[in-house]
Amino acid sequence: MPGEIAKVTGGRDIAAVVFEEEVIARRVAELGREIAEFYPDGDLLVMGLLKGSFIFVADLVRRIPRPLEVDFMIAASYGTGTKSSGNVRLLYDSGTTLEGKHILLVEDIVDSGNTLKRVSTLVGERNPKSLETCTLLNKNLSRHEDIQPRFVGFDAPPDFLVGYGLDHAEEFRHLRFIASIEE
């Protein structure tokens, strides 16, 4: 495995593999079933928060055995650092009508909860039928008590994580596993 990691990362910055590809795939399938059971009917819109969630959203919606729509928003708070700036900027807003629909916000990782708080507030103002959140990784560091994801893939360690859509300065998104990087 170390040789394989060096091959896909160019040997840069990977400290350890945290979640293997097979473990992620199993959990995403379970989440798909849980979401379908939670939303047995009604219009469901899965709203991915880009860029980090794009691989997770693609895999997740294929595992939700019911009709749904997919759209995206782009919010940013990291830039090129490994710590959130705390300043959440909305770079792209959805043009989809949200009123009267079940909205499932899908995030790659929740740490401070600032991004999810900002986007949840914005989406909530558009009168959805319901609003829930799903995250692949939860660091359980949210300072916002009202921002607790309904669906969580994994509790994550405090390390800076990359792979499976998560990046550091736009690198490492292509990895099929999730790894920590050396800071």
Catalytic residue among 71, 111, 146, 155: 111
The tens digit of pLDDT for each residue in 8-33 reads 666 667 999 999 999 999 999 999 99
The whole-number pLDDT of residue 12 equals 64
pLDDT digits (tens, 9 = 90+) for 89-135: 565 566 788 899 999 999 999 988 888 888 888 888 889 999 999 99
pLDDT-derived band at 85, boundaries 50, 70, 90: very low
Total structural domains within the chain: 1
Q: Is position 108 annotated as part of the catalytic site?
A: no
Query: 149 is in which domain, residue-wise?
Result: 2-77+85-181
Give the CATH number, domain containing residue 22: 3.40.50.2020
| DSSP per-residue string spanning 39-68 | --SS-EEEEEEETTTHHHHHHHHTT--S--
- Under DSSP, the state recorded for 73 is E
Nearest alpha-carbon partner for 146 in 123, 122, 116:
116
